[in-house]
Amino acid sequence: MTVFDLPKIKGVGPVYRELIAQGMRRESLSLDQVYRLPPEEIKQKLNIPINIVRALATLSSSEPLATAEPKTENKQVVFPGVLEALTKDHFSELHQGDAPYPKKLKTILRDKAPETLYVWGNLALFDQPSVGFCGSRDVSVKGLEVTQDVTQQIAALGWVAVSGHARGVDITAHRTALENNAGTIIVLAEGIDGFKVRAELRRHATPDKVLIISEFSPHASWNVGYAMQRNATIIGLSDAMVLVESRDEGGTFNAGKTALKLHHPLFVVKFQDTQKNNAGNDYFLNSGAHQLMKSKTSNRANITALVDKVNDLQLNRDPIETNIPLQMAMPIE
């Protein structure tokens, strides 16, 4: 089921049509099955407001499906890159006034929040607890292990990983989340049109587990300025940030400074030995960031404080129950 298979619904725009299509895919429902459901069940299963349910309910299952909309109508565009990697679908355009626009992003970035987002994938991931990851492309083996460990632990809680699309920390976080049946949000520093997801993610990437977003013109090319700007969006979509390895300059260093400036929870890996790849970590740890260390009990990354902070910062949601025990911590060797 794609948005192009849905009948046109009076008063329902492209964003909500996309939400309906996503819900039907997620629940494996046909149109006839949706029509037979009571309104409250439609609202619950498709995760749409009751007024949209009522609009949907005005349709009859005997109505023929509308012919496919022109792919440029209502700013809906074919997304060829993900067509090849994931599924036949399109990307949508979200504005700050649209209900699905992530409230977390507006709350954290305020007037710096992107006015427009181009999105593909499961919009429900915006509302899940989330942890952002940043780190060097040339991250050390130990840094990759920490990234994988932390992502596995948050995936076990059903949380979402948020990061860019570079090799190293970014791809490790996304891949680990997907391999552990959790959601992941890929934030681009380029236009979404023609973007192709990396081969490492394709095996496990499915539309219900992936959300790809860009705040830039769909045809824009990657550049350093966009990458710096995109870092703020990763922070704004995350309840807390994990900085794995940072040199004393560059994109990761910039992301860490942005998180501190926004007074956003920043957890920085404390390594036993300072090397060139992690030389910037101590700067952040000395500037108010939280230490991310290893548990003496489990010999894994101790995410107790991270879990507590994310639970505290859930926006308009009830605290999440977790069974993460308090653990003694030590630097990552």
CATH code where residue 181 lies: 3.40.50.450
Number of Cβ within 10 Å of residue 266's Cβ equals 27
Longest dimension (CA), the chain: 69
Structural domain total, the chain: 2
User: Among positive and negative, which fits the CA dihedral 144, 123, 114, 17?
Assistant: positive
Helix axis angle for 251-261 and 224-236, nearest 10°, is 40
**What is the dihedral angle through the alpha carbons of 42, 46, 51, 55, rounded to the nearest 10 degrees?**
-70
Which long-range contacts (C-beta less than 8 Å, at least 24 apart) are formed by 255-259?
Answer: 255/134, 255/231, 256/134, 256/280, 256/283, 256/284, 256/289, 258/231, 258/232, 259/235, 259/289
Tens of pLDDT, residues 190-241: 998 878 888 889 888 887 899 999 999 988 999 999 999 999 999 999 999 9
Classify residue 162: in a domain, yes or no: yes
Which of 54, 69, 84 terminates a domain? The answer is 69
Q: What is the pLDDT of residue 13?
A: 63
Q: What is the pLDDT of residue 67?
A: 28
Q: What is the 8-class DSSP label of residue 8?
A: P
> Which tokens go with 322?
């977790």
Classify residue 88: in a domain, yes or no: no
Q: What is the 8-class DSSP label of residue 332?
A: B
Q: What is the 8-class DSSP label of residue 230?
A: H
Which of 51, 69, 87 terminates a domain? The answer is 69
Q: Low-confidence residues of the chain, pLDDT below 70?
A: 1-15, 51, 57-90, 314-333
Classify residue 64: in a domain, yes or no: yes
Pair 284, 174: CB distance under 8 Å: no
Q: What is the pLDDT of residue 34?
A: 79
Q: Say if residue 42 is in the same domain as residue 166.
A: no
Q: What is the pLDDT of residue 312?
A: 83
Distance CA 141, CA 263 (A): 30
**Dihedrals phi, psi of 90, to nearest 5 degrees:** -140, 170
Helix, strand, coil percentages for the chain (3-state, nearest 5): 40, 15, 45
Q: What is the 8-class DSSP label of residue 111?
A: G
DSSP for 59-99 reads S-TTSPPPPPPPTTGGG-EE-HHHHHHT-S-EEEEEETTST
**What is the dihedral angle through the alpha carbons of 116, 167, 138, 289, rounded to the nearest 10 degrees?**
40
Classify residue 243: in a domain, yes or no: yes
Q: What is the 8-class DSSP label of residue 248?
A: S
Q: Say if residue 115 is in the same domain as residue 55.
A: no
Enclosing domain of residue 33: 3-69
Q: Say if residue 185 is in the same domain as residue 44.
A: no
Distance CA 228, CA 170 (A): 15
**Dihedrals phi, psi of 266, to nearest 5 degrees:** -125, 120
Ordered alpha helix ranges (H), the chain? 14-27, 31-36, 39-46, 50-57, 80-85, 103-109, 141-156, 169-179, 199-202, 224-236, 251-261, 281-285, 304-312
Q: Say if residue 127 is in the same domain as residue 274.
A: yes
Q: What is the pLDDT of residue 194?
A: 76
